Structure 1
Amino acid sequence: MDIVISPLAAADVEAVAALARRVWQHTYLGIISQEQIDYMLDQRYRAQRVNDELGMATVWWDQLTVDGQLAGFVSCLLTGTPGEMKLDKLYVDPQRQRLGIGRRLVERVVARALENACETLILAVNKGNSNAIAAYRKQGFSIRDSVSVDIGGGFVMDDFIMARSLLAPATGPQQP
């Protein structure tokens, strides 16, 4: 397998949005409504928004290909809190999950966080997404908070905020 992680380019935005839709349909349909899925995908993956983020100095998007085919992507950003980076999006093609792709993408974000003098990596994950929560625990994250955020359109994100210290290497699954 030829695995390559590279920065996302404007020409890749449509493929990433299509992969996001496949992943969300596979993952979230039993957790949130189809209406909320459509609303959130439109909010987060509209071409203009992603292209705008590609031009920001404090936001990064990367894609992972396997044998030339898009298999996953990740975005991260500096939160504005000194020493903290947010893993904002991490999605892997459902047919390629549990092959270490997500781990590689987390490692990419950890490296970027360290390059930017960050000591903590945070993320938000839907409370009903038990597979992702378990995967993040294996990567050294633990639950820091529980939030319910109004995102407009009559929808709410019901998430755990998970955090990982970057001061010491991850030692395996973390307890809440």
Structure 2
Amino acid sequence: MVDEIVFKPVETREELEALARLAAEIWMDYWPALIGEEQTRYMVEMFHSVEAMERDRAEHGYEYWFIQSETGDVLGYTAGHDEPESGRYYISKVYLKPEARGRHLATRTFAFFDELCRKRGWHAMRLNVNKGNELGLRAYRGNGFQVIDAVVNDIGNGFVMDDYVMERPVSA
């Protein structure tokens, strides 16, 4: 169990490069069994490369954080952006290294987002999760998220994301 975790904002080009390497490592470990290696590689490039993260920051206001132990060990990363039109925060990414899973870091990540949402005046958080991602679904349901929709999004190259949309109110 990790005593304390820190959410370190990703700010520099060097940090984005380190985050892209971490994303590729986590994704290539976890996702090929669920969606295949070809789609995994495509999604890493489309959504987790330095260029993709720079685009999402510039065009959609994405924010990225390393999830770290108090000693600075990187355990994973998270990202999202404000949705002022709906009064919600969209959590785009919560990804942990294999050795960090099962240690309640998702719960602490949602507590981090709760605080961020309260400061910004948002009433809810939402996210998308692959319908076959049982580990993610368990973590999200266990943290109060409920399915509000099901969507299939064409992401190009013959691939789709077949997801549940989940939401939970911000804690008081």
The interval holding the TM-score normalised by the smaller chain is 0.7 to 0.9
Does 2:107 correspond to 1:103? yes
Indicate conservation of the 8 Å contact 1:73/1:105, yes or no. no
Give the counterpart of 1:62 among 56, 60, 65: 65
In 1, the alpha carbon distance for the partners of 2:10 and 2:37 equals 27
In 1, the alpha carbon distance for the partners of 2:7 and 2:44 equals 23
Indicate conservation of the 8 Å contact 2:65/2:79, yes or no. yes
Task: Calculate percent identity across the aligned residue pairs.
Answer: 27
After superposition, residues 36-75 of structure 1 pair within 5 angstroms as 36-54=39-57, 58-66=61-69, 67-75=71-79
Shift of residue 107, structure 1, vs aligned partner: 1.6
Q: Deviations over 1:80-101 (max 9, x none)?
A: 5321111011111111111122
Equivalent residue number for residue 31 of structure 1: 34
Q: Deviations over 1:94-129 (max 9, x none)?
A: 111111222222221222122221111110000000
Please give the root-mean-square deviation of Cα atoms over the aligned residues, in Å: 1.9
The count of aligned residue pairs is: 168
Shift of residue 4, structure 1, vs aligned partner: 2.2
In 2, the alpha carbon distance for the partners of 1:7 and 1:53 equals 15
Stretches of structure 2 lacking an aligned partner (at least 5 in a row): none
In 2, the alpha carbon distance for the partners of 1:51 and 1:45 equals 10
| TM-score normalised over the length of structure 1 | 0.86
The 1:153–1:56 alpha-carbon spacing in structure 2 relative to 1, beyond 3 Å, is closer
In 2, the alpha carbon distance for the partners of 1:25 and 1:57 equals 26
Equivalent residue number for residue 10 of structure 2: 8
Give SS of 1:31's match. Answer: helix
Specify the code of the residue in structure 2 equivalent to 1:123: L
Q: Which moved more, 1:50-59 or 1:76-85?
A: 50-59
Indicate conservation of the 8 Å contact 1:59/1:76, yes or no. yes
Q: Which moved more, 1:129-138 or 1:69-78?
A: 69-78
After superposition, residues 152-163 of structure 1 pair within 5 angstroms as 152-163=156-167
Shift of residue 55, structure 1, vs aligned partner: 5.5
In 1, the alpha carbon distance for the partners of 2:61 and 2:114 equals 15
Specify the code of the residue in structure 1 equivalent to 2:145: F
Shift of residue 20, structure 1, vs aligned partner: 1.4
Specify the code of the residue in structure 2 equivalent to 1:139: N
Indicate conservation of the 8 Å contact 1:76/1:109, yes or no. no
| TM-score normalised over the length of structure 2 | 0.88
Shift of residue 14, structure 1, vs aligned partner: 2.0
